[in-house]
Structure 1
Amino acid sequence: MREGPVRTVVTGLGVAAPNGCGTAPYWAAARQGVSGIGRVSRFDPTNYPARLAGEIGDFRAEDHLPGRLLPQTDRMTRIALAAADWALADSGVDPQALPEYGMGVITASSSGGFEFGQRELQALWSKGGRYVSAYQSFAWFYAVNSGQISIRNGMRGPSGVVVSDQAGGLDAIAQARRQIRKGTAVVMSGGIDASICPWGWVAQMAGGRLSTSDDPERAYLPFDARARGHVPGEGGALLVMENLEDARARGAASVYGEIAGYGSTMDPQPGSGRPPGLRKAIELALADAAAAPDEIDVVFADAAAVPELDRIEAETICGVFGPRAVPVTAPKTMTGRLYSGAAPLDVAAAFLTLRDGVIPPSVGITPDPEYQLDLVVGQGRPATVRSALVIARGHGGFNSALVVRAA
């Protein structure tokens, strides 16, 4: 058994986002406020009320994966496999050099392989069951990213999938931290989602929170009086996580920082009169990190762009930190909400903020003064950042919060 507290750190990042495929391109775009939101191109959105999305336009699976994997994988999984390769390369971890059960993979998922499933359903109804791919048995599944990453890299340690919508990305990272504290050497965690297809689009519209604006620069406006819902997107981030002592012992090239604290709650039943659970999740994360509110240098907001949800989040942030007392940002305004991939991408951005001392901005927003938030807008803001808080909420009442800090 290891002696003393186990500090879990991130040593590798694999990012795939609409405004940059790869960590360096994404981060360069995010610092400068460059958006990846535009009109949907993966299908014709003309007859749908919502027609904008954050798409990864420069990703070709054939450039990153062997041909044998393409017939059996959804776009979501192809992106995840490539991001896993990038994260491993960044960390310098070789899964084959670890003990047989020394590395696991715990991802989050919100939609599963919607595009693959839609194609096979079309084959079923138009041609018959003989024309449905055998790969449909797993390519649609929520756990498929964890499974395919595990198979491709021989990761046989503690693994799984977490399904709690946008909060799931933080929940998966927290679960990975638990496994490292129990003795697993390395865990890959995070989330990648991609469901920009007619079937996925209808499912997202059913939630009633998609923006119907056709102006990419004004469609997704959290904490703005013009807020009218969010723009969906595809992508996310995968992180290589390990014990700090082990990372230092092997001479890890990069230690981005520590996963220091985590908290999660569920909102009460609507109409119950009880307060939302978001503040408690943040307080649990701060307590877990042994951090006072004034030690947090920036908050990465959930940023629903639904007026009532924005009000709850703003009141919670002000209640914990004080009005305009901490910089708040929502870089997902440049990518859209990536569902299970959104919070891991924010975590990656938080670690890059720690490294480079630049808070990425929220774009397109004219902050509503009623929210009393110090929103970082327009361009990146230089700042000394040692600790950051990432907030994520999932449809149905999930609340999660994660504290990251310099190691």
Structure 2
Amino acid sequence: MNSLSFVAIAFVVLSLVGLNALTYYSHRTRLLPDIVWVLLLGVLYGFLSTTTELGLPEITLNSELVLYAFVPLLIFSSTQKICLHHIRKVLLPASLIGSVGILISMVIIGAILHFVFGMPWLATLLFGVIISATDPLAIGALLHENKTLQESRKLLIEGESILNDGFVVTVFGVFMLLMFEGATFSPVNSSASLFSHITGALIIGVLLGRAARWLLAYWHGEHFSLRTNMTLALAFGSLLLAESLHFSGILAVFSAALAYGYKRPEPDQNTHIQGCLWDYFEYIANASLFFLLGASFSGLASFDLLTFSLVITSLILLIVARLVAILLLFPAITIEGEHLTPQEFWLLNFSGARGAVSIALILLLPDSFELKETFLSISFVMILFSLVLYPIFVQQLQRKPG
């Protein structure tokens, strides 16, 4: 066995043991979710690999790896746990926050960066939409453990995050056309393009999800291995087909998972094992993605480009932009005619931690874009801040009576 193979295997072994240790001690201390400890461990690894002579290989996040390997697994895994009957109750407010709320946040961030720091309008709006994509993975475990929070409220938070990721990626595509491919902006054409991207993705997902269910029934594929094969193919296939047709892959995966699970099979050993397998896929994907995100911090972020005023302003915008968006939409955010309580309102706000999707989108920007490194550095600071501190805010909110 050569030295590289030995190091790789040893790293995997130590990582698996380390994950168990992190899970055990994070559950005992309840200070931070175990996935955040994985993130911080990645930051430590990245720091040691770039500043010491220990011989540790440098690890950097790859945008295509995030969008085409991790995202389908994570979105399909989260969505297939959602009952279509229940999500109907929160679909309207979740869609509103995940679209109009994103646009409000985008304008607030873009305007401040433009007028205060003199950055170009289109560039700041682009950054505003990118950094508005939320990632509830660090918060999700805390919410699922909360027995007092209604399931509909949990669905609102989880569903909104998935929908806003899909919307952000779609709007990002529009900005890419305007800024780097010379397309002319037209409100009518841009709105029509956005609508077609979203609608096309949803239709593709529904058709593939129902086709997968029909094939399993036709082939009598009740065994968990056959169901797992089909759902894995559905998760990646729906994203690839939608992206190849220039639709939103994230929304296609979301709708495919919903359509596939519209009529859940009767609980038995096969469905239980399939669920456990998908839980493990999600667990490994989360851990790998958060470690990669942390390990990339030292290699991709450039602190020379960050000023104190820019960092402070960015952290304020991180909280304020989403807060203002939810406040403006609050009269329309109702679940079965009921408004959110103050506790639920703040939980919704601080469940909007940022994550790897934002970094992946910035990495997709051309290297010739002069603000790419600056946006990448700011994003890392904002993401680490939200992923470390937001879970603490959520825990404190959950200890207070509703």
| Between structures 1 and 2, the one with greater helix share | 2
TM value normalised by structure 2 = 0.21
Name the larger-Rg structure: 2
Between structures 1 and 2, the one with greater strand share: 1
Q: Which has the higher contact order (CA 8 A, sep 6+)?
A: 2
